[in-house]
């Protein structure tokens, strides 16, 4: 499993940038950015990403590994629902897609 590096490139649409801290904690945003840096939007097979406990601890800024706390953090991530606005070609809002940010954590 590759270690997390500080120079991964993340390309986001504005709607992902607009989700920022109003809905997500700093740790959740950090986790999402690192996840996005490890996937290829055009290749669904890359969407399953593994993090070591050490990397997860660093991403979530957890001082001491405590499985009860890790379970609480992952449960929060699993319950996170994201809404992404849909615009027509003219840029007019026509609706939105809502989806669960993460499906499972193993």
For the stretch 7-60, pLDDT in tens is 666 666 666 656 544 577 777 777 777 777 788 878 888 888 888 888 878 877
Range of the domain at 70: 14-80
pLDDT, residue 57, reads 81
DSSP per residue over 35-63, as a string? HHHT-BTTBGGG------HHHHHHHTT-S
pLDDT at 21: 45
Q: Taking phi first (over 0 means left), then psi (-120 to 50 degrees means alpha), and beta for anything else, what does residue 61 get?
A: left
Inside any domain, residue 53: yes
* Residue 91 in domain: no
In Å, how far from its chain's centre is CA 102? 8
Residue 46, in any domain of the structure: yes
pLDDT of residue 96 exceeding 50: yes
Dist CA 33 CA 51 (whole Å): 13
- The total number of structural domains that make up the chain: 1
Separation CA 45–CA 102 (nearest Å): 15
The pTM assigned to this predicted structure is: 0.62
Residue 1 forms part of a structural domain: no
Q: Please report whether residue 8 resides in a domain.
A: no
User: What are 63's two structure tokens?
Assistant: 């001082």
**Amino acid 61: pLDDT:** 78
The answer to whether residue 58 sits within a structural domain is yes
In a domain, 72, yes or no: yes
C-alpha distances in angstroms, 78 versus 6, 21, 87, 89?
25, 17, 27, 32
Report yes or no on 9 lying in a domain: no
């Amino acid at each position: 499993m590759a270690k997390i590096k500080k120079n991964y490139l993340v390309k986001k649409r504005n709607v992902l940038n607009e989700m920022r801290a109003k809905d997500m904690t700093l740790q959740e945003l950090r986790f999402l950015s690192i996840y996005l840096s490890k996937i290829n939007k055009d290749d669904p097979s890359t969407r399953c990403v593994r993090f070591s406990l050490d990397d997860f601890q660093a991403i979530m800024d957890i001082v001491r590994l405590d499985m009860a706390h890790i379970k609480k953090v992952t449960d929060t991530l699993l319950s996170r629902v994201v809404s992404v606005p849909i615009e027509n070609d003219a840029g007019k809002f026509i609706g939105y897609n809502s989806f669960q940010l993460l499906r499972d954590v193993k």
